[in-house]
Each structure stands twice: as structure tokens, then as C-alpha cells.
Amino acid sequence: MKPSVKQTCIMTHKIVRAALQFGRRWYSNQHENYAKIRNIGIIAHIDAGKTTTTENMLYHAGKIRRMGKVDSGNTVTDYLPSERDRGITVQSAAVSFDWKKYFINLIDTPGHVDFTIEVERALYVLDGAVAIVDGTRGVEAQTRMVWRQADKLQIPRIVFVNKMDKPGADYFASITTLENHLLANTLIMHYPIINDNEFHCVADAVDMRITGKEGDDVFETELDKHVHNDIFDECVIIRKNLIEKLSDIDDDIAELYLGMYSDDVCKFPSNILKSSISKAVMNNDLVPVLCGSAYKDIGVNFLLDAVTDFLPAHYNSRIASSVNVSDKLIAYAFKVIHHKQLGPVVFIRVLSGSIHSKNMIYNASKSEEETPHAIFRVFADEYQPISNACEGDIVAVTGLKNTATGDTLHSSKKDNGNILDTISIPQPVYFCTIEAGSPTEAKALEICLTIITREDPSIQVKTDATSGQTTLCGMGELHMDILVERLRKEFNLKCYIGPIQVAYREKVNSKIKDSMVYEKKLLERTHNISLALSINPNAKVDDCSIKFSNISASADIAKAVKDGIRQACASGPLLGFPLIHTEIKVLDLKVITKSPPTIITAAAACMTTELLQRTQCGVLEPIMDIHVITNGERLPDVLKCLAQKHAEILQIEGDAQEKHVSATAPVSEMLGFASLIRKMSSGNADLTMKVAGYVEVPDCDIERLRNRMLGVYD
């Protein structure tokens, strides 16, 4: 019996998947043609379906035989135990796969507000992003946040309206939220086919094709006017609108639309439309919006086509155009993770030239040479060794001893190339004390903390020089919880954790100026360093600025002095919190003996600390900007919750359905706020918070804070 058109399409689809599975073995290492590489990120609010969409993409690409489910804890990209237990993404995971003739490096990012830095450093090296929107909820709070981050980095985007299978999902209403809340200039691409409240297929108005599921199999076929009647007509309307929107920004399209194809938009060649859309996406003029259901495996094949058709190739990307491309290596390290067997693994984006295992390279940010032991193609937690990686690629490298997030790598010191900008890491707002479960585990804890801080630049570990007490600082309660859980589960460490407390700041309230002499006898030699400093309060300075007056000092000595002053400023004189709003000037500097930089640094730190102890200082508490989105019905619960936390309400906006509440509160009140609001609103409130500024803590409260830090409660 002759197979039907639909059956033929299903067979073709199966063959493509099988070919991709087989082809992977030879193709993955041969993608020298960087025009065919796409480096993309998946971004969105928590639960929109980023991980599920990634899983479905891997399935279509033939990388996995069966789709894992977030709720069963067996997806490829949520591979950490903390992620599988909680069903949320904590760290961004990289996967690479082939799609048709393209090679895609994809990063699945976390959506929770505590992991904003994790998203930002991934976005920094990506050329394009797929933003996922839950079709039943439209744009949510964290989507706004990541959208703004993508705006800042000018990342071209496409949107996938997911969960179209859920009752109440609405593609067109979701598009309205994109336009209203994100001010996105959207381009409607699809038409969802929902019959009897069940989502079946997606039709694409550019290619005039339709895809869906028949039993377990995906079919994909051309739209036929006679078979698909109404759907065909709907797509013609969408196509017409799309061409008109493109005509507004592309004269060539306008000319063709008014001329050669004025009588029938169906005749307008889709390849011309696609190249115009691609240009508009690259210039951030338009955002194509697609739809489907990753969970039900509908529409993600079209999404993959859109990724390759519309998102930029390496040579068109923002980050590649920021360097002078040549055959010399320029690479950017954007992430470090600790692998149980491989040790520290550094993820890099190669912007120019190539990197080869065992060939020495130069870390221009740290001014030191490094030698990669091995280079790997990454598939979540699987590592496949490759001998080299070329321009445009994202790979993992082992053997780099000191390279950290934000470092620029060159072929050699002689290259003298530029050092790329790095993302700024906000200061942590919470901390807790941490102690090893037994004296024998103290060393192991120290090693684990070093590993964890190299992995996550938004974590800080501090040890008090006098008490020896170690503290762990992070961005939020979930961030800290997961960190401690990782120490226990992943590193098998017993440790005692103190309660989560606020990471305050300190500042100087009065000016001081003095000169001091530091003298130390070491190995029969006396080191003699004299330093004159002035310390001034300056609210315009974010943290601490260190400047030199007209003094002649070699670059090495100046750096050693700066390091020492910075060390002292990291631990203020009142409670040991970092100083902010402080300006320090080095007025005079004399190094009488030939002292090594470590001694100069120690001298500068010692003298700065002494001077700080003689000034008047104050303690500052971070103030959080709070933004809650909820429905009209839940607004009273949200307001009650904010009142309980002594928040000041600044504004309530929105209509009867959606309310936006802006408020501010000191960070000490915010402990437990996220879970309280979740409970009181039964999960119907979206919360985002960020540090907005600082207020000074009254002097009478400082003693109470000091006692609390020592574990004495009043």
C-alpha cells in the first residue's frame, strides 16, 4: 500500500533524525565553516519551559533517543543533584548539536532571580537568544529582567510561545504582553491550530508549512489550500501582515510587495523574506514570535529552523565584531566549573584564531602563561575530547590553572591584543558563617570553597584574620541554600552553617591624612616602606577608588600598593564589611630596600587598616527595590505580605487582571520574603528584587549587629 503524504513526512522526519545521530560522529569535529555555527542561549522566567525546550531540541537533533522530563529529574541539562531534586535550573549548561547543515552551541540558563549573574555571563558570549514565554501567562517578571540584560548586550532574539497545549494558552495574547511589557517590535510568524481545546499543529506563514504530531511521530508538510482550507487562509493574512511590517524597514521588500508580488503574497519567495527577517533580527529591529509545545513535541523543529535562519552567525555577532579578527587566538573565558574527574574546566568562546591542546597560550588579563591539557566539546555533563577549536566556537578547556570568568586569552604575550570588557559582578547581599564538621575536614572545606568561588564569581568567601571565622557571601537565600547543599551532597562535606545574615557595607564619615612607616625584618633583611595616604568619604564612588598623586613608582610597586589598600578596604574597621563610597589617595610612597611585592602589599594593607581605625566610620544596609506582579484578586495578600516585612509601597499600577506593585525595604526584612509571598499568593505572584542603594544604620544598632555576628542574640 502506498503511504499517505503524512506518513511519508513522518518517515522523512525519522530518517533526518537518524542521519543526524549518525552524522554527528563525523560532522561535530569538522565545522570549520564558522558561518554555520550558531551560539545561542535559552532565556526566560523560571518554569516557562527552557529546559524542556532544550531537551526537545536535543531530541529533534538526534542527540537523545528519548525525551527526559524536568519533573522526573532526568533531563540532559538539569544534571546537578540540586537541580534534579528541585526541578529547577541552577547553573547554565552547555550542549552542542547539529541541525540540518548547522552546528548549534546552546546554553540553557537558570530563570531564578538569584542566578542573574549566571545568565549575564552566558549572554555575554552568545550571538543570539531564544526567549521562552509560557503561553498561558505571557511575559513574566524574570523574563523582563533577562530581556533587559539582552537589550543591554544588544543580543538578537526570537521568542517561542510555549505550553500551547495547556488550557487557556493564547499565542496572540502572549504577543500583546511582549509588545506592552517589553516594548518588543514583534513579527507574528505562526498560526496555532487548536481544535476542541486541544492543540494539534503549528503552521508557519513564511514557509507556508505545517507541523504536528500523529501518535508518537512528528509530521511536517507544505500547507495546501485545498486540504488545509481555513488554516491556509489564516496564514495568508499573517503572511501579508508580516510582509507589510518588513516593508516598513526594508525597501527591497516594499518594492517587491508593491510590484512583482502585489497580486498574491503566497508567491513572495520565502528565502527573500527570511533574509530580510534575519537582517532585521540582527539589527534588533524585529523579534519573530513562534509557538508550540516543547512538552508535547510540537513546533520545536520550526523553532530550530528559525534559530539557524534568523539568529546571527559568528562573523555577524556583536562579540566577534568587538575584536580584530586574525589568525591569532583571542578567546574569552566565561565560566568555570569543577568536574569530579577532570578538575577545573574553563568554558571559552573563541573569537579569533584557534586553540590547540598542549599548546601554550597567554592569559592577558592575569599576565601569565597557561597550557590547555585538553579541549572538549560539551554535552551537559559529558565531555568529548577534540584536538582544537576554531574561531566562532564554544568549548571547554582543562589544565588552565588560574584562568577565571572574564579573562581574555591570547596566543602569546607578544600579541599585545586588547583585553575584552568583563561583566560587573554585584556585591553579595547575604552571608553566613561556615565551619568544618571536624578539624580533619577543615582543609577539605577550604579546598571546596576555593573551587566554588572560582566557579561562581557572585560568591565570596572571607576569613577573619583574628578569629579565623570563615564566612560565605551570596546573592540570595536560594543561592546560599543551594551552595550549602552542594557542599554537603556534591563534595560530601560535613559543615556547620550559621543563620543567613545581611551583608552590610561600611563607609568613612570623616577625612583623614597621615604618613606612616612600616618596618619588618625578614630573612636577615629589614624592609622599610613609608606611605602617605588621604582617605575621604565620597558618595559618588560606588566602592573604593584608589588614586596616586604625582609619584614615581614602577608599575609592579604601584600594583602591590593598590592590592594592599584594596585588601584593607575589603574589611571595614567596625564590623569587617567592605567599604564603599570611599576615595583613597596615595600621596607619597618610598620603598627603601628592594622589597618583594608581597611585602609591599602587606605593608600597604597594614597601614591603610590602621588609618581606617582612626577615622569615623558608619555601617550601611542595602535597600532592595521590589517589584511584584500579581492578579487583582491576590493583590490584598501581596500588600499584606509587604506590610509584614515593613516595605514601603511606592506605586501600584495595572488593570483589574494584572497589578504591578513597586516597593522598597531594607534587605534585613527580605529574609524569607520570597517563600512568604509564594505561600500567601498561592504561587500567583512574580517577584523581582535588586539592590537599589544603602541607608546608614544608627550607631546604637551597630553593637547589636556585632553581637549577632558573634552568635549572641538579644
In the complex, the residues that contact Mg ion under the rule CB under 5 A are 50-51, 89
Kind of pairing between the strands at 648-654 and 658-666:
antiparallel
Does residue 703 belong to the site contacting ligand GDP (CB under 6 A)?
Answer: no
Q: What share of the chain is helix, strand, coil (3-state, %, to 5)?
A: 35, 30, 35
The angle at the Cα of 221, spanning 220 to 227, to the nearest 5 degrees, equals 130
For residues 51 and 668, which CB has a smaller minimum distance to Mg ion in the complex? 51
Q: At what angle do helices 141-152 and 171-182 cross, to 10 degrees?
A: 60
Does residue 165 belong to the site contacting ligand GDP (CB under 6 A)?
Answer: yes
For residues 120 and 370, which CB has a smaller minimum distance to ligand GDP in the complex? 120
Pick from ligand GDP, Mg ion, none: which does 124 bind, CB < 5 to 8 A by kind? none
Cβ(35)–Cβ(315) below 8 Å: yes
Does residue 111 belong to the site contacting ligand GDP (CB under 6 A)?
Answer: yes
Pick from ligand GDP, Mg ion, none: which does 295 bind, CB < 5 to 8 A by kind? ligand GDP
For residues 300 and 329, which CB has a smaller minimum distance to ligand GDP in the complex? 300
Does residue 455 belong to the site contacting ligand GDP (CB under 6 A)?
Answer: no
- Please state, in angstroms and as integers, the Cα–Cα distance from residue 382 to each residue in 53, 122, 143, following that order: 19, 19, 29
DSSP tag of 267: G
For residues 201 and 282, which CB has a smaller minimum distance to ligand GDP in the complex? 201
**Min dist. Cβ of residue 427 to ligand GDP (A):** 27
Position among 60, 163, 228, 335 found at the interface with ligand GDP (CB under 6 A): 163
Binders in 13-52 for ligand GDP, by CB under 6 A:
44, 46-52
For residues 105 and 162, which CB has a smaller minimum distance to ligand GDP in the complex? 162
**Min dist. Cβ of residue 40 to ligand GDP (A):** 15
Does residue 105 belong to the site contacting ligand GDP (CB under 6 A)?
Answer: no
φ/ψ region of 473 (left if φ > 0, alpha if ψ in -120 to 50, else beta) reads beta
Rounded Cα–Cα distance for residues 118 and 176 (Å):
29
Cβ(10)–Cβ(99) below 8 Å: no
Pick from ligand GDP, Mg ion, none: which does 47 bind, CB < 5 to 8 A by kind? ligand GDP
Phi, psi (deg, nearest 5) at residue 338 = -105, 120
**Min dist. Cβ of residue 155 to ligand GDP (A):** 18
For residues 89 and 276, which CB has a smaller minimum distance to Mg ion in the complex? 89
**Min dist. Cβ of residue 110 to ligand GDP (A):** 8
Name the residue among 212, 207, 219 with its Cα closest to residue 195.
212
Helices vs strands, H then E, count in the chain: 18, 35
**Min dist. Cβ of residue 83 to Mg ion (A):** 8
Cβ(366)–Cβ(407) below 8 Å: yes
For residues 108 and 370, which CB has a smaller minimum distance to ligand GDP in the complex? 108
**Min dist. Cβ of residue 48 to ligand GDP (A):** 4
Pick from Mg ion, ligand GDP, none: which does 399 bind, CB < 5 to 8 A by kind? none
Binders in 47-86 for ligand GDP, by CB under 6 A:
47-52, 69-71
Rg of the chain on CA atoms, in Å: 28
Pick from ligand GDP, Mg ion, none: which does 174 bind, CB < 5 to 8 A by kind? none
Buried b (16+ CB within 10 A) or exposed e, 592-628: eeebeeebbbbbbbbbbbebbeebebbbbbbbbebbb
**Min dist. Cβ of residue 213 to Mg ion (A):** 23
Residue 121's contacts (CB-CB under 8 Å, 6 or more residues apart) are 334, 335, 405, 406, 423, 457
Pick from ligand GDP, Mg ion, none: which does 332 bind, CB < 5 to 8 A by kind? none
For residues 293 and 403, which CB has a smaller minimum distance to ligand GDP in the complex? 293
**Min dist. Cβ of residue 42 to ligand GDP (A):** 8
Cell matching residue 292: 508550540
**DSSP-H helix ranges across 398-540:** 442-455, 477-489
For residues 202 and 600, which CB has a smaller minimum distance to ligand GDP in the complex? 202
Pick from Mg ion, ligand GDP, none: which does 398 bind, CB < 5 to 8 A by kind? none
Pick from ligand GDP, Mg ion, none: which does 518 bind, CB < 5 to 8 A by kind? none
For residues 83 and 391, which CB has a smaller minimum distance to ligand GDP in the complex? 83
Rounded Cα–Cα distance for residues 280 and 278 (Å):
5
**Could you give the 3-state DSSP secondary structure of residue 225?**
coil
For residues 55 and 309, which CB has a smaller minimum distance to Mg ion in the complex? 55
For residues 142 and 460, which CB has a smaller minimum distance to Mg ion in the complex? 142
Pick from ligand GDP, Mg ion, none: which does 588 bind, CB < 5 to 8 A by kind? none
Cell matching residue 545: 577608588
Neighbours of 31 (CB within 10 A): 19
Residues in the interface with ligand GDP (CB under 6 A) total 21
**Min dist. Cβ of residue 49 to ligand GDP (A):** 3
- Please state, in angstroms and as integers, the Cα–Cα distance from residue 572 to each residue in 252, 579, 591, 608, following that order: 63, 6, 26, 10
Buried b (16+ CB within 10 A) or exposed e, 1-21: eeeeeeeebbeebeebbeebe
**Min dist. Cβ of residue 133 to Mg ion (A):** 14
Name the residue among 449, 626, 457 with its Cα closest to residue 118.
457
Cβ(50)–Cβ(109) below 8 Å: yes
Rounded Cα–Cα distance for residues 386 and 190 (Å):
39
For residues 140 and 621, which CB has a smaller minimum distance to ligand GDP in the complex? 140
**Min dist. Cβ of residue 112 to ligand GDP (A):** 8
For residues 86 and 562, which CB has a smaller minimum distance to Mg ion in the complex? 86
Cell matching residue 450: 576555593
Please give the single-letter amino acid code of residue 378.
Answer: V
Binders in 284-303 for ligand GDP, by CB under 6 A:
293-295
**Min dist. Cβ of residue 91 to Mg ion (A):** 10
Pick from Mg ion, ligand GDP, none: which does 44 bind, CB < 5 to 8 A by kind? ligand GDP
Kind of pairing between the strands at 582-591 and 544-548:
parallel
Rounded Cα–Cα distance for residues 369 and 362 (Å):
4
Pick from ligand GDP, Mg ion, none: which does 581 bind, CB < 5 to 8 A by kind? none
**Could you give the 3-state DSSP secondary structure of residue 672?**
coil
**Min dist. Cβ of residue 8 to ligand GDP (A):** 27
| Residue ranges that bind ligand GDP, judged by CB under 6 A | 44, 46-52, 69-71, 88-89, 111, 162-163, 165-166, 293-295
